[in-house]
Copies of this chain bind each other. A is one copy, B any other.
C-alpha cells in the first residue's frame, strides 16, 4: 500500500520505492488524547506534530498546576480542559479524552498509566517505560488487567525509512546481519541549563542517564531492524562532571548480543557533541543511518560496490507515531511496540547498568517479571 503523500525516493528507486504508513486503516472517528506532562517536548514537539492529524487530537492538558494546564487550553485550539495531576488521578475530565500520552520524568510514568488503565483509557507512554524494569512490569500488568492497549513511544519504529530498512533486511539485501554499531550523544547541560534536572536524579530517571535517555535508541532500533531480542550485555560507564555525581553514566559504552548472533556496540554521552548514527553490517552489505535518532533520519545502503542514499525530511516522526497510535486504537488493531516489548528494553537497561557496575557480562531475563 502506498499513499499520495509518499516521500520521494530519488536514487532509492533502484531498491524499490518504499512504503509509507502501510499500517494505515483510515478508521472512523477521532481519538481524543490527554497530554500528561507539559514539558518542552510535549509543548514544542508533540502539540504541533499532531495539530492537523485526521484521527487524533489533543483535548486535555494535565500538568503540575491549574495555571500551566490552562495555559495550554488558551494556546491550543483543540485542547478543551486543563487539569492537575491530582485531578487526573481523581478522574476529572475523563469524558473529554479517550486515551493518554505520558511524557513525565521516567519514575512517574507508572502512576499515570495505572490511573489511565483504571479509567479504561489506552496508554501511549514515552520511552524508557519507567525508572526500573520492575515498575515497567507493573505497567504491563495494569494495562493487561484493565485490557487497555499500551504503546511505548519508540519514534524510530514508525519512521518510514526505518520500516523500509527492516524490509530490506528481511529481503536479504545486506545478507545475514553480523554487527550493529550505534552512537548517541548530546550536551544535556546546554539543552537544560540546570544541574538539578530530573535526568540527573536517580529518583526520577531510574538506573542512570545516558543509556536510559540515549543508549536506548541504538538498542531498540537495532532490535526492531533485526527482529531479534537481547541475550546478554557488557558495559563500561563513567561520570566525571560534577552535575553527574549521582548517575553512573555521563558517558557509556555497551555491547549487546542478540538471539540471532548479531552483536551491537553502542556509545552514549550526555556531555558530548550532539551526534547520532546507527550502522547495521551484514555479510553482503550495510545500512547506515546518519543522522539517526532525533527527528531527522537519513539512510545509506551499500551492497558490493553500490551505494543508495535516502534522505528523510518529509515526515515528522511524532506525527507518524500519534497517527499510528490513533489508527491502532480506533481500529482495535494489534499495537506495537507494546508493553512487553518495552519491558525487554527495561530489563536490558537494568542489565547494562549492572554490567557497568560489576564489569561482568550480564544475561537478560525478562521472564522474571512476567
List chain A positions with a Cβ less than 8 A from chain B: 174-175, 178-179, 181, 183, 185, 187, 232, 234-236, 238, 240, 251-255, 257, 261, 263-267, 269, 271-273, 275, 277, 279, 281-286, 302-303, 359-361
SS class, residues of chain A in contact with chain B? strand
**Cβ A234 vs Cβ B251 within 8 A:** no
Contact A179 B255 (CB under 8 A): no
Contact for A281 among B179, B272, B285, B361, CB less than 8 A: B272
Q: With A and B bound together, what is the CA distance between A261 and B238 in angstroms?
A: 8
Q: How far is the CA of A240 from the CA of B361 in the complex (A)?
A: 20
Given contacts A179-B185, A253-B179, contact A285 B265 (CB under 8 A): no
Q: Are B181 and A185 in contact (CB under 8 A)?
A: no
Counting every copy of the chain, the complex holds 2
Contacts of A283 in B (CB 8 A): 187, 271-273
Sample of 4 further A-B pairs with CB below 8 A, known A187-B283, A234-B234, A238-B263: A236-B361, A240-B261, A265-B266, A273-B283
Determine the distance from Cα of A240 to Cα of B273 in the docked complex, in whole angstroms. 37
Whether the pair A255, B251 counts as a contact (CB closer than 8 A) is no
Residue of B178, B251, B359 near A360 (CB, 8 A) is B359
A181 contacts B265, C-beta separation under 8 Å:
yes
- Which B residue sits closest to A275, measured CB to CB? B286
In the assembled complex, the Cα of A179 lies from the Cα of B283 at a distance in Å of 27
Residues on B with C-beta less than 8 A from A286 are: 273, 275
Contact A273 B265 (CB under 8 A): no
Task: Let me know if B236 and A279 touch, CB within 8 A.
Answer: no
Which of these, B265, B271, B284, contacts A267 with CB under 8 Å? B265
Q: By CB atoms of chain B within 10 A, which of A238, A240, A265, A360 has the most?
A: A265
